[in-house]
Structure 1
Amino acid sequence: MATTRVTGRGQKSPVDEEFLKQLYQGGELLAQGRLSEARQLLERAHQLQPGNEKGRNLLGLAYFKLGLFDQAAEIYEALVRDNPVDATLRVNLGLVYLKTNALQRAMREFEAATDLQPDHKKAHNYLGLALAQAGEYGRAREHFLQAGSDVMVEKMAKAIAGERFARPPRATPRAPASAARPAASVEGQRGTQSGLDAPGDEDEGPGALRADTEAAFAETSEVAGTNEPLPESLEEATPELPSKIAAFRPGSDVPVLAELVPVLALAGASQAQPFRVGNGGFSARVEGELLTRLEGLVAFTGQLQFQPEVKRFRGRPTDQPFGEGAGRFMRASGQGVLFLESAESRSFLAVDLGNEGAYLCEQCVFAFEEAVAFDNGKVPSDVAPELDLVHLRGQGRVVLSLGGTLRSVAVAGETPVTVPLSHLVGWLGKVTPRVVPLPGEGESPRVAVELSGEGFALIALPVR
């Protein structure tokens, strides 16, 4: 837990006072469901005290509630790294993965939580849900038994036997638990106040396949220096169990297409949010021109034209294509919205250059606004093929395609930073790159990039 700085006779510093103000007000707004306002305040609190566990947890919850699952995952991945034996944080991270259907990652976190705390019924319950979605009904039944969820135990037994059930209606969300419970200490709440009811309550009726649960992010406590509680939990429902359990049979209940389709609509970009990233894809609003790859194109709306883009050197076009095959950059013009999905094992991240230049590996750049100036280049190499780079600069937004979570390492002084090529995204600042070999055995040599100067190395850290 982060410590509070004091000035003079035990008084908090202005920075701490501002942090507590932003944290408390953000928590209040979060409890009221005013998510966008809460996010702004909690992000400000995080900037003031980035290491504060309470602030990070609440910010992760805000991102989760807003559907910004990539950002929520980044927050909770960092919390788990800092607190690897905290079962509740493992459950929270697992819930983020469960919402994005990253079942293997979700199961690893829930399993780790049950290893750390074998009597954590909610971890067993969520693990059962993830296993059921993966079709492992036998293992799911075992964990529902340990969770004390008799209804889901019965459902798994019938699923194993190949029986079919109708889907129940959506459950009506309940009020946040914090509205009815008094404040408690952090230690007293972790792992015990997550507010999850056993799925398949009696009021759902027999044969219900959907397991309604609360995404119970259980990190709650009083704000230091106040007597007011922060919110305890906010409700979410986990995805439905796989449709193969409920295979169609003549006469069975199936959704009405006209009612189903609006629920399944893809979230599109808008004028207020020209890049919308999440759930394994992104959408981009085109008004004028946008440079983007079309690899993973799902659909586009409006009237758009596409022209193949060429590389540039010192601001001038060349005769070399920018990208290859399906991954070639195209200049999209007109007015409309693009919908794209990320490649397997990769994810999108939208960033604003903020009028700063960045050198990025070509394969990590997926799209950028027309206002962003670019030049192509290479880092020469005697030990591997030359490294293709894109230098982006100006005021505008960029979408990166990454094989993991974005991280950085400071490059300073006379000590260089060496990054394996497989992890390198690029760098910021006055940095000089050099391709170097890494020790190791194999058919192809291991290669890294040595960075020296002043700036930051950008790294994609795979989530394991």
Structure 2
Amino acid sequence: MATTRVTGRGQKSPVDEEFLKHLYRGGELLAQGKVMEARALLERAHQLQPKNEKGRNLLGLAYFKLGLFDQAAEIYEALVRDNPVDATLRVNLGLVYLKTSALQRAMREFETATDLQPDHKRAHNYLGLALAQAGEYGRARQHFLEAGSDVMAEKMAKAIAGERFAQPTRPATMPATAPAARPASSGEAQWGTQFGLDESPSDTPSTVAPGDEEMRLAEDEGPGSLSEDAPDGAREGQGTPEAAREDTESLEDATPELPAKAVTFRPGSEVPLLAELVPAVALSGASQVNPFRVGNGSFSALVEGELLTRLEGLVAFSGPLQFQPESKRIRGRAAEQPFGEGTRRLVRASGQGMLFIEAAEARSFLAVDLGDEGAYVLEECLFAFEEAVAFENGKVPSELAPDLELVHLRGQGRVVLSLPGSLRSVAVAEAAPVTVPLSHLVGWQGKLTPQVVSLPGEDSGFAVELSGEGFALIALPVR
């Protein structure tokens, strides 16, 4: 395989020149829609410099446009391995998975993208679509709202109502504009016909009427698949005023895009320049709009006044912050018992600044808003919360196992949970108590009565039986 060589100071070798020639020309042809010709040039560029990120991005985009999803997946999987905190690359890989009906893999990439960049509207859009296809209409609606797609959010609301009272009748045939596709499973067929979308992502683009909002997904990042740092002349929509471009796109027209900023390398080196790498890998900071910014295994918290948090996994903090150990609250009063021990003790952070914290091994963070509903959460799962949230410590006594330490949270405010997996819920009804193993329990919402019980079988461990009306909160390990 040819390698990059530097012939002299500031001079490019013939290999460098050939690589750039193929890269730029391939990018231009790709932007012009001449994908087959672009593919040949970009494959040659990739052979010359297989680690060049811009070359790999463009080649992955070419494969995607040609429907060569296995090759596209290979490209984007490698890019994600090299750049695990790049939300755009996660979205690109998720799109490839969505095209090949690898639904769980797609959702995992979109969820990671929204964790890394909570305001990434495309990620929320596609995660909403994947969740809708999986039948999780409530979660899908939330992500469509995050994406600013009110039309799709309304469709999810109608689907939820239909699911609870009367399932909509599925049309016997596909819409006339839908492309032929492989036979869909029952789960795949249900979501598309209910919401006016194709039954499953197709390998061939479908046409969408210009005014058909029900077939479009809102996103505010522009329609271009190539970013501003693409080769000159290789940007889609070049010459089109930004104000005149549509800010929506259909699922079938969705294409991967290049990250907003690519770290560059000196010729002949695969080591990035420190001055360019540093801003590219900066920790994501919280803001007044998002005082808790959850990322991939980490989160940042904005402190303006007071904030209650643990300091386990503290990476750094900025600003003149002060930390005061917090005590438990029992029956509305501060007790002498400390709220946690060691690095896991809850502290009251005060002042003006920012906290950067990394999750413990095999755990992840989730930021939630309590809204009008309170919640009972295992003490070990509560990591941080706004000062406006009222809390009270309690326990579920047990003669079988150690008492279950709980925290009752209520009031308008946001909370960060530390979980050993993804949050899920199980409905609890008066006539149907729910039993959850302690290894999966996070807490519960509603008017529920807990009781510690033994699981069936010898040495099977313990669980909590919840009776009443509400929801059991559980954590499922991510596989």
Distance 1:277 1:101 in 2: 6
Cα distance, 1:352–1:66 mapped onto 2, change above 3 Å: farther
Structure 2 residue 402 is matched with structure 1 residue 415: no
Question: How big is the shift at 1:415?
Answer: 2.5
Distance 2:465 2:100 in 1: 36
Q: How does 1:101-140 map to 2 (within 5 A)?
A: none
Structure 2 residue 411 is matched with structure 1 residue 394: yes
In structure 2, the residue matched to 1:87 is 101
Q: What does the per-residue CA deviation read over 1:95-119, in whole Å, with 9 as the maximum and x for residues that have no partner? A: 44886999xxxxxxxxxxxxxxxxx
In structure 2, the residue matched to 1:192 is 203
Question: How big is the shift at 1:251?
Answer: 7.8
Q: 1:185 is matched by which residue type in structure 2?
A: P
Distance 2:290 2:356 in 1: 14
Structure 2 residue 254 is matched with structure 1 residue 233: yes
Q: What does the per-residue CA deviation read over 1:32-85, in whole Å, with 9 as the maximum and x for residues that have no partner? A: xxxxxxxxxxxxxxxxxxxxxxxxxxxxxxxxx994999x9xx99xx99xxxx9
Cα distance, 1:94–1:386 mapped onto 2, change above 3 Å: closer
* Paired residues of 1:69 and 1:279 also in contact (CA < 8 A): no
Distance 2:409 2:114 in 1: 31
How many residues get paired? 272
CA-atom RMSD in angstroms: 4.0
Q: 1:454 is matched by which residue type in structure 2?
A: E
In structure 2, the residue matched to 1:297 is 314
Q: What does the per-residue CA deviation read over 1:424-449, in whole Å, with 9 as the maximum and x for residues that have no partner? A: 1111111110000112344xx50000
* Paired residues of 2:368 and 2:415 also in contact (CA < 8 A): yes
* Paired residues of 1:88 and 1:191 also in contact (CA < 8 A): no
Structure 1: any 5+ residue segments left out of the alignment?
1-64, 103-182, 195-202, 205-227, 239-245
Cα distance, 1:371–1:95 mapped onto 2, change above 3 Å: closer
Distance 1:98 1:285 in 2: 21
Q: 2:103 is matched by which residue type in structure 1?
A: L
Question: How big is the shift at 1:463?
Answer: 2.1
Distance 1:337 1:348 in 2: 17
The sequence identity of aligned pairs, in percent, is: 64
Q: How does 1:1-400 map to 2 (within 5 A)?
A: 67=87, 87-90=101-104, 92-93=106-107, 95-96=109-110, 184-185=178-179, 187=181, 190=201, 192-193=203-204, 230-236=251-257, 252=269, 254-400=271-417
* Paired residues of 2:396 and 2:403 also in contact (CA < 8 A): yes
Paired residue secondary structure (1:258)? helix
Q: 2:256 is matched by which residue type in structure 1?
A: E
Q: What does the per-residue CA deviation read over 1:206-248, in whole Å, with 9 as the maximum and x for residues that have no partner? A: xxxxxxxxxxxxxxxxxxxxxx95453232469xxxxxxx9x9
In structure 1, the residue matched to 2:444 is 427
Cα distance, 1:380–1:92 mapped onto 2, change above 3 Å: same
Cα distance, 1:402–1:68 mapped onto 2, change above 3 Å: farther
Q: What does the per-residue CA deviation read over 1:325-384, in whole Å, with 9 as the maximum and x for residues that have no partner? A: 211101000011111111121111111111321111111111000011110011001110
In structure 2, the residue matched to 1:121 is none
Q: 1:392 is matched by which residue type in structure 2?
A: L
* Paired residues of 1:411 and 1:457 also in contact (CA < 8 A): yes
* Paired residues of 1:297 and 1:339 also in contact (CA < 8 A): yes
Structure 2: any 5+ residue segments left out of the alignment?
1-84, 117-176, 183-199, 206-229, 232-248, 260-264
Paired residue secondary structure (2:299)? strand
Question: How big is the shift at 1:405?
Answer: 1.4
Distance 2:255 2:320 in 1: 41
Cα distance, 1:98–1:270 mapped onto 2, change above 3 Å: closer
Paired residue secondary structure (2:278)? helix
Distance 1:186 1:349 in 2: 40
Question: How big is the shift at 1:191?
Answer: 5.9
